[in-house]
Structure 1
Amino acid sequence: MFPGGGGMDDRKMQQMMKQMGIDMTDLDAEEVVIRTPDEELVFTDADVQRMDAQGQQTYTIVGEPESHERGEGGGGSDEPAIEESEGDGGPAEIPDEDVELVATRAGASEDEAREALEETSGDLAAAIERLE
């Protein structure tokens, strides 16, 4: 433990951390996404801190994530994101959620996002990249 015992105020703790070469920074993160082979964890409204110590950066995320199965909406699955429709052989309807996601991420209109998704066969990342 630290010499002097119990209750240490925030200011003193900050000084000691600075003396040891540790710097803590609160990040104003809007969203944090962690992708695993099976799922995607999406944190919104999370508290994120970065600690810099001895040339290493460590991130701490505090919050409740939403869990999404991978492969939904082209998130790394080998299956095509858009299935062929039976009628005319053209692509099926692109989900509105995908259009909204691409429009939001790329800062584009929904019409531009839908067009980019159609051009990239529903590949979300490629559509966002195309619009940026």
Structure 2
Amino acid sequence: MFGGGGGLDPRKMEQMMKQMGIDVEELDAEEVVIRTADHDLVFTSPDVTKMDARGQETYQIIGSPEQRERADDETDADAASAIPDADVEIVADRTGASEEDARAALETNDGDLAGAVADLE
């Protein structure tokens, strides 16, 4: 693509990417988890690079993952804890709905407070 010798000077490469509207940022990640239906791939202390090309973000993860099996109840616990209790209280107070109904409306609306309130009013 770039032709020429054995490689480009990293500064020139960065300058060329900026001219093309591509921003690259190194992230100081402690851990990255990729969840599949059957297991998790856990990268501990990975090298993570975020590339933003005109609003399209791409992440590159470099490291060796550890494969961990997923427990069925772990999935349910993650879903329940995804909605903060404070958000449930806000929706319940605003609409007069029970906390169970407020949580269900928030889950249906992916945590969107306004959407949950609109559904319950």
Same fold, judged at TM 0.5 (above): yes
Equivalent in the alignment of 1:76: 75
Aligned AA (1:66):
E
Alignment of 1:1-132 (within 5 A): 1-2=1-2, 5-6=4-5, 7-71=7-71, 74-76=73-75, 123=77
Give the C-alpha shift of residue 31 in structure 1.
0.7
Give the C-alpha shift of residue 126 in structure 1.
5.4
Aligned AA (2:32):
V
Q: Give the number of aligned pairs.
A: 83
Aligned AA (2:48):
V
Equivalent in the alignment of 1:92: none
Give the C-alpha shift of residue 35 in structure 1.
0.5
Aligned AA (1:25):
E
Q: In structure 2, how many angstroms separate the alpha carbons of the residues matched to 1:55 and 1:124? A: 29
What's the TM-score, normalizing by structure 1? 0.55
Please, which runs of 5 or more residues in structure 2 have no aligned partner? 86-121
CA distances 1:93-120 after superposition (whole Å, capped 9, x unpaired): xxxxxxxxxxxxxxxxxxxxxxxxxxxx
Q: In structure 2, how many angstroms separate the alpha carbons of the residues matched to 1:18 and 1:12? A: 10
Distance 1:15 1:39, change over 3 A: same
Give the C-alpha shift of residue 125 in structure 1.
7.0
Q: In structure 2, how many angstroms separate the alpha carbons of the residues matched to 1:42 and 1:126? A: 22
Q: In structure 2, how many angstroms separate the alpha carbons of the residues matched to 1:54 and 1:124? A: 33
The structure whose residues are more often helix, as a share, is 2
Distance 1:44 1:125, change over 3 A: farther
Q: In structure 1, how many angstroms separate the alpha carbons of the residues matched to 2:43 and 2:22? A: 26
Q: In structure 1, how many angstroms separate the alpha carbons of the residues matched to 2:78 and 2:10? A: 44
What's the TM-score, normalizing by structure 2? 0.60
Give the C-alpha shift of residue 75 in structure 1.
2.1
